[in-house]
Structure 1
Amino acid sequence: MAAEEQDQSDLEKRIIEAFEVFDHAGNKSIDVREVCTIVRSLGCCPTEAEIQEILVAVEDQETSGSVQLDKFLPVMKQIIQENRLQPASPEELLKAFLTLDPENKGYLTKDYLSKAMMEEGEPFTQEELDEMMAIAIDGETGNIPYEYYINQLMVRITDENVYELAKKIKPPETPNKPTISQLLSNL
């Protein structure tokens, strides 16, 4: 098997393995409510609106409320190969924290960050906020030293992420579309 075919197979295998964790009946079908968890377990960071778009693309129309692997796999593979839904880079995270810290103190208070995460943009749930704070808060000061927190988030996993696998796969060739001038010259 060529290296590219192996990479293609590895990416598909990762998506299938994530899907199968929630395929409790072993029938290559999951409950539609599990899609968000699977997508995030693959290292993707979708907004709620993006999750809804995925659901529209993958939900089984005949069996409402379920998603079949044969429909889910190509959609997720395409999303990953197009580098959509990638997590923010450390630089983007730092820029966001610096925006919240105009005095450049190097930290945010728990109350301030909690309020921002619950009220601004796409709000966190209380459970998501509690999970974040468990990692982010410095036990001695009670504040969030955000550069340290970003480093905690960026700990390198020894296994390649799905986006690294996708980079190794050559995108499918698309036929050359004629330019407008070529189309006009044929008239």
Structure 2
Amino acid sequence: MAEEEEAEIVVDINNDLERRIADVFELFDHTGTKKVDIRDIATVLRGLGCCPTEAEIQEVMVAIEDPKNPDIVHMQTFLPYAAQLITEHKYEPATPDKLLDAFHVLDPEGHGYLAKDFFMTIMSQDGEPFNEDEIAEMMEIAVDPYTQKVPYEYYINQLMVD
């Protein structure tokens, strides 16, 4: 009986932002109970256009976890929290200008490209490193197949299109 009651939880959706959050959340709600595995929260946030660091994801998880069942997140808890994050413009992705500035720091001679190996090393070792799957996916888009270099203005444009 307790499971039936939990399955019937109603979550009020009051505006377009909350509808968008609920839609993304529901993609990971495999049981239809308005709950997701807490390990999916990073993907849900990124699906909403947020770009939190791993440390920020941990903070979010602590803030929204269910004390009775820390592996589960309820939509009624996540919805207002995510709406506030988005409204406050937290975890917004870098602008094209900021990305270009970062590439210029890595390319002080102004070639307009980075060597593939150099780019892979930076992305896999510095700051918040990407894992192998993330690197492979990124390199598919970033590397020019003919020159084997990363023409960063083109790459930034590809990121903005996606």
TM-score between the two structures when normalised by the length of structure 2: 0.90
Look up the match of 2:28: 22
- Deviations 1:25-49 (CA, angstroms, capped at 9, x unpaired): 1011111111001000111100001
> Which one has the largest radius of gyration?
1
Shift of 1:141: 0.5
Deviations 1:101-123 (A, max 9, x none): 11111000110000011111011
Does the residue aligned with 1:11 lie in a helix, a strand or coil?
helix
The secondary structure found in structure 2 opposite 1:154 is helix
Deviation at 1:147, TM superposition (A): 0.4
CA distance in 2, matches of 1:65, 1:22: 14
Using the TM superposition, give the Cα deviation of residue 131 of structure 1 relative to its aligned residue in structure 2, in angstroms: 0.6
Identity between Structure 1 and Structure 2 (%): 53
Please give the root-mean-square deviation of Cα atoms over the aligned residues, in Å. 1.0
Q: C-alpha displacement at 1:130, in angstroms?
A: 0.6
Runs of 4+ with >4 A deviation: none
Among 56, 69, 92, the alignment partner of 1:86 is 92
Q: Which of 95, 114, 123 does residue 129 from structure 2 map onto?
A: 123
Q: 1:44 aligns with which of 24, 31, 50?
A: 50
How far apart, in 2, do the equivalents of 1:64 and 1:149 lie? 39
Q: Which residue of 2 aligns with 1:114?
A: 120
For structure 2, the 5+ residue unaligned runs are 1-13
Structure 2 SS opposite 1:116: helix
Instruction: Tell me the amino acid that sits aligned with residue 127 of structure 2.
Output: G
Residue identity opposite 1:145 in structure 2: P
TM-score, L = length of structure 1: 0.78
1:167-186 equivalences in 2 (<5 Å): none
Aligned length: 149
* Alpha-carbon distance in 2 for matches of 1:29, 1:132: 31
